[in-house]
Homo-oligomer: A and B are copies of this chain.
């Protein structure tokens, strides 16, 4: 029973618990009383330290994404410095972007698989304040990596690259969310490796490494797939009348 409580003790305990509960139940289905109860702090502590429930979710993400954004930009800077003006290889860009994220899943101090799962599940949340928040947090990094891919694949139309970046983000987001129907049906996949509900399976490090090992070749294969042959809509032109 350590009675020693400082300011950051309460703040960080709220953030850690909220991160886990938001991941397990989603934002709307997680109440302030669930969070403060599990964190063993007073109900009013969240509003005192963060201002509101929305601001708490933002802070949960901000403390992780600020590290991730910095790391992703540094990785790209490093690669471009080594290349000395030449375009990067697509595999290098993907490794810097997705590898950096998946390496967060290996380190519990950076949130581990708990944060990765939360991120994957929250990226498809339709709530407006969430989407606005992510848009602001991701803007700079997305733009830098998008331009790097444009230079790495000069023969591919830019719109096509954006589409495939979109698909790659989706495959990763869904994979780290760990809610796939396959996992329940086949008993195989991320959930099987993670041992989500209590049972101590392999640790976050092993889970994240195995996932990265499977995901990266898939993403690269998709990015380099042959372009669709027909330019746009096929022959028949069907217009919804009125």
Contacts and interface: CB of A to CB of B under 8 A. Distances in A.
Contacts of A168: 171
Contacts of A173: 124, 170, 174
Nearest to A27: B28
Interface in A179-206: 179-182, 184-186, 188-190, 203-206
Nearest to A125: B26
Given A162-B182, A203-B240, A213 B225 contact: no
Contact of A214 (B180, B205, B223, B228): B228
Counting chain A residues whose Cβ lies within 8 A of the other chain, the interface size class is 35 or more
B203 A182 contact: no
Interface string A153-191: 000000110111111111111110101111011101110
Contact of A240 (B110, B121, B164): B110
A23 interface: yes
B225 A220 contact: yes
Given A26-B127, A110-B240, 14 more contacts: A26-B125, A125-B179, A131-B181, A134-B181, A142-B181, A143-B185, A163-B214, A165-B182, A166-B175, A166-B180, A167-B218, A169-B182, A173-B174, A217-B228
Interface of A: 23-26, 28-29, 71, 103-104, 106-108, 110, 120-121, 123-127, 131-132, 134-135, 138-139, 142-143, 146, 159-160, 162-175, 177, 179-182, 184-186, 188-190, 203-206, 209-210, 213-228, 230, 232-234, 238-241
CB-CB nearest 10 A-B residue pairs? A221-B225, A170-B174, A28-B28, A135-B184, A222-B222, A171-B171, A218-B222, A167-B171, A170-B171, A163-B214
